[in-house]
Structure formats: C-alpha cells, structure tokens
Amino acid sequence: MSSQQTSRLAFVDSLRFIAAALVVVQHLADRIEADWAVAVRALAPGVTGVVLFFLISGYIIPFSAREPFDPGRFLVRRLFRIYPLFLAALAMVTVLGICGVLSEWNDLAAAGLERWLPNLLLVQELVGARPILGVSWTLIIEFVWYGLFAASLIAFQERAAGILTAGLGAIILGLVVLSLVLEQRIPVARVGMVYAAAFGFQLYRYATDRINRRKLLLQLAVFLGVTLAANFVSFGLFGHARVGLWQALLPWLIAPLAFTALVMAPELQSASALAQGWLPRCGQWSYSLYLLHPIGVALAFEMFEPGLALLAGTGFSLALAWAGYNLVELPGISLGRRLSPTQARAAMVKA
C-alpha cells in the first residue's frame, strides 16, 4: 500500500479497534449479573463489532489486491495474516489450561484428534466439534470471504463487487423464503457476515470513484432491506432462545449506517481522533485484541472478584493484544510476504 493510501485508511484502524472493543465489552458483560450488564447485553455490542469487522474487511481487502491480481500471493499472505496468531492462541490456552491456571481449558489435556482437528481447520461448527476458542467461529467466514473475493475478481474483474452482493443477497432471500415455506428457522447469520464483507467491497468502489453516491445509497438500501428482513424472520417470527429481535436488528442497522456515513464523509475520516493519535495505533492490535481477549478476561475472572475483574480483564486483554501484534502478527505478516509466490520467484531470479 502507498503511504497516501495508508494515511487515507487510518480511520479504518480506529474503527477496527472500536469493533474489537465492542466484542470485549460484550464478553465482559456476559460474566456480570448487574443491571448495567443486562442493559449492555440487550444492545448486543459484540454482534455490532463483528458486523463492523466484516464491513471493514470487505472495504480494506481490495486495497491490498494489486494489479495484476495474483491469487496465490493474495491467499498466502491472508493465510499468514490469520493463522500464526490463531495457533499461538491455541498454544496459550492449552498450556494455561493444562497447568491449571485457566479452568475453562483444563480439559484440553484429554482432548482427542476429533476435537483438535476440526478446530485447527476452523470447521468446528460445521462438524459439531466443541470449540476451543469461541471467537474463532468468524475466522472460517473470513477465509470464505477471501476465497469468494479472489474467485470473483478473477472471473468478473470490475463486475465482481456487483455480482457478489447480488448473489449473496439472493441466497439470503432464498433461505428466508425456504424458512417461511418450511415453517422452520434457518440461520442465515454466517452468510450475512460474508454479505457484509461484499457490501464493504461496494464501499471501497465508492471510495475509489468506481460508483457514485446514488448507486452506493441504492446498494445500502438493498443491503439493509435484505439483512433486516432475514433477521426479522429468523429472530422475530421464529424466535431464538438467547437472542431477542432487537438484539438481532440493532447491529445490522448501526454498523452499516455508521461505516457508510464515514466512507461518504472524508471530513469525518480525517477527524483527529480517528486519523491520528492512540486510536489508530491501537487499531493495529485489533485482531490480537479480538482473538486473545477471551484469555485475558478468563484470567481476570479467575484471579479477582467481578468488580476488579472488569478492570483487570481490560488491562490483560490490551497487554495480550500488544504482545500478540508485535511478537506474532508482525513476524507472521513478514513470513507471508517472503513465502508468497511472487516474492519467492523474485528471490529465485536474484539468486
């Protein structure tokens, strides 16, 4: 990425940190029975954060797809962007669980291949295996998005974003109709997250002057219509044991509306709090904060009473995020660059 692009995208790092922080707030509130915690859970900040993450992923990934697009280079770098920290997190909970420091993971010593293999491949939900790290459910969706993005870019080039958004929207509406016909709840949230990334791709096209404001607003209206209708049917008509209708609807209103408003208003992107200072710097740790905060939160609640555990959990999570980014993410990114096919061929030519 050029320095100009990096500067233009500083607000995205700030939003990444906000998204990760919303997930942390959700998981802290989940452990408390106070009235304020019940109110926080009613707003579903964690879901808002995850939707925002996928919108951001759809917006930012096209910036990294250099022309001519090299799918091998792209996918190797994405793999080394995600997996090193994930493996480090699994190693950490395994060691802390076996040593008895974190009781939530003390059963890992006896876990067999039938649990480990699906988790390592990120398909634990697909095969019904018990997850080792709960937040990892989003990673397989992220890889699905990478694959769809690469395939559509190769096949359709400039039409890729339009075909992706139309296709995914049609799939979701088809599942909604099928749900009504069968009179049975069909979960669509996972497809919805990929759809959010595809809409983020449309936001990228607007930011780079490939579509105009009118077309973007039309895309936003369709996206909101599809996702809100799907959530109304899934959580309103059929209901859910743990998630109320407004807990389902609010994140799909707040995240896309807020992110679209920022993309459409460059003056807000350059606001000092979003464009410079501690917020975008901390945003660089957002993936580590998202993936490692369950360890920090669990450790705090093992050591302290709930009131103090809230502060300690926040501190532990931020410390782990800083360490994860500097000690695992950055080396992993560097290794991915060296091992990508384009870089490897260039090294061979120089040799």
pLDDT in tens, 229-282: 999 999 999 988 888 999 999 999 999 999 999 999 988 888 878 888 899 999
Six-digit token pair at 271?
């606001």
Here the tokens at position 265 are 């208003």
Q: Which residues of the chain have pLDDT under 50?
A: 1-6, 344-351
Where does residue 238 rank: exposed (0-12), middle (13-18), buried (19+ CB within 10 A)? middle
Q: For residue 135, which of 293, 25, 15 has the smallest C-alpha distance? A: 293
Q: Check residue 266 and give its pLDDT.
A: 86
DSSP string, 178-237: HHHHHTS----HHHHHHHHHHHHHHHHHHHTTSS-HHHHHHHHHHHHHHHHHHHIIIIII
* Whole-structure pTM value: 0.93
Cα 243 to chain centroid distance, Å, stands at 20
- Cα angle 240, 243, 244; round to 5: 90
Write down the pLDDT at residue 344: 46
Torsion of CA 52, 55, 61, 62, to 10 degrees: -150
pLDDT at 3: 43
